[in-house]
Amino acid sequence: VVLNWYDVSYGYAQWLPTTALGGQRLKGIWHTGLVAFGKEYWYGGRVLSSEPGNAPFPPGPVRSTHLGYTLRTRDELEDFLRYELVPRYTREKYDVLNHNCNHFSDEAAGFLVQGCHIPDEALMQQEAVMSAPLLEKLRPYLNNWLSGFEASGSDADIDDLMPEWRARLWPGDLALFAPPGNHHEPLLLVQVSNINTWKGTCDITYFESAGSRSDVHL
């Protein structure tokens, strides 16, 4: 598992006067992406994946940090992203100070490598300059720019990485269910609950024609 660092200031951050940055000197303004299983996962208003090193911040990563090794599988990672992070990492929720790409990288890294956090230089940089007058003026512009990426070229929206995700159910959804081995009975309208994506199991509830309720674990 590797963390790629991109300087979205294109090298200019180190030349900014410290008076404009709350007395701090920055080496860069960091966007990070997490590399695992041959893909780089990152947040830019959507959760996206691209070829490692190909996030849209030329000239590419200025450094890479090895975070450790994972016992997870790619399917487990993408399930975690799809069900846990995608709903929380949206364009509307992006904030360059409090909810950005580095927070995403940190959560994904912690899932892949137990107890892992990305370096404070990236994760905590917003705290160092939070009160800087220049950053407050640039904040709306940065939020609009850094939250506006779409999947293009070789990039993929994590929500579309696997077509079968579109058919997956959420707790509370209604679905038509065909009882196994019974091909002549009509389909049942069921409500889904207690979905366990890791084990591939769920509970369903349906009502018999007589009005009695049945609960089944699949």
Domain spans of the chain, in order of start: 2-157, 163-217
Residue 137 — pLDDT band, cuts 50, 70, 90?
A: low
More confident residue, 21 or 82: 82
Residue 166 — pLDDT band, cuts 50, 70, 90?
A: very low
- Which architecture characterizes domain 163-217 according to CATH? Roll (2.30)
Whether residue 197 is predicted with pLDDT greater than 70 in this model: the reply is no
**pLDDT tens digits for range 108-120:** 999 999 999 999 9
Whether residue 177 is predicted with pLDDT greater than 90 in this model: the reply is no
More confident residue, 150 or 95: 95
Q: Which residues are known catalytic residues? A: 31, 101
End-to-end CA distance of the chain: 34
More confident residue, 196 or 122: 122
- Which architecture characterizes domain 2-157 according to CATH? Alpha-Beta Complex (3.90)
Whether residue 211 is predicted with pLDDT greater than 60 in this model: the reply is no
- pLDDT at residue 139, rounded to an integer: 65
More confident residue, 171 or 54: 54
Q: What are phi and psi of 33, to 5 degrees?
A: -135, 150
